[in-house]
Structure 1
Amino acid sequence: MQEKPPRPGTDKSVARRQPAQQRSRERLDRILEVAQQLIAEKGSEHVKMSEIAELAEISIGSLYQYFPDKRAIVRTLAELYAAESRRCVREAFEAVQSKAQLLDAFAALVDQYYEIVIDKPVMRDISSALRSDKELMNIEIAESRACGALLAAAIRRVMPRVDSKRVNALAFLIWQLGEETMRLAVAHKRGEGALLVDAYKRMSLRAIEEA
């Protein structure tokens, strides 16, 4: 018997099936690629599951086998972006051996992230979607904690006498404020947005240096 598509919201925020074979993985990749394209063009609020299925050239029933609703797609994309972001942060801080290197690495990460958010409308939309959904917002907070922990570890490595608890809290706050700053910056014209990002960067660098 063919499984009926679930009603929207019946299996929240989790992919219904984890593909095991190459063909299924390719189909999942195609779904996510199409979803990103549509979200970039229209915004996640205006994208319909039927549109994703049509552009991905699959049936709506097949789409529901992977994702119970659009929210699950947004969550999956957010988790993929978060994993890639964490990888970049880890690589940037792994080579840090001095305070000067730490400050340079952090400043470069801020500039790089701002350029990526500017160039990829889908990331801006997903960031806003996370902020408007309490459950999905946990993804962003968890990512701020993870990246904040990497920053805190780098601070302790170059400044071993710092208070660990204080540094952990500071690093988490810096990272979460970074997410808020990016949302605010992209909501304004490029020149003003760049000034906001620069102000955040200077405040954060000062806080790190005085940790």
Structure 2
Amino acid sequence: MIETIVFDVGETITRDDRYWASWADWLDIPRHTLSALVGAVVAQGRDNADAIRLARPAVDLAAEYNAREAAGRGEYLDESDLYDDVRPALSSLRELGTRVIVAGNQTIRAGELLRALDLPADFVITSGELGVAKPQPEFFQRVLSAAQVAPSTALYVGDHPASDIFPAKAAGLRTAHIRRGPWGHLWADSGEVVEASDWRIDSLTQLTAIVGR
């Protein structure tokens, strides 16, 4: 029985449009160029940040992140960054008595911004706050420990096979792969993803029926 659903953040509950556009503008890279490079590194199975490194090989991302924050052009999230199905889906799940957790590979600042949105979730936690990131097994262990949840009763929802589906499955959670964002669409029909996913969905609202069963 599924008692808890844990949601990835980027391209599961939030759009990454603003994130990549803001980096392009800050580094004076045409938005289309950076978007295309993101697609290229996704297809190659590389780290997202490699898209920026391809455009600016000498970039110090940590230094640039701090400079953006200092300039008042750092991380930002508002209602427009959420996918349309997020609030209805999370609210419906909580009405069913399902515990809702948001946990992804984000910074401490992103965790603060997500909590400020007052999502219909029991709690929000990020890799920056946990001190460990996906796909490390410790990420899932710490999320479950913080939530006091047994892995066999939890479902992890995400778009990225290597960061979400495969490691969550290995950690003992059930998995739902969402066809959303570049990663979700590119690997939606991969044999490995199909095999590792207990469910494959196109919208978060489909989770209500899954829990209801």
TM-score, normalised via structure 1 length:
0.29
* Higher RCO (Cα < 8 Å, 6 or more apart): 2
When Rg is computed on C-alpha atoms for both structures, the one with the higher figure is: 1
- As a proportion of its length, which structure holds more helix? 1
TM-score, normalised via structure 2 length:
0.29
- As a proportion of its length, which structure holds more strand? 2
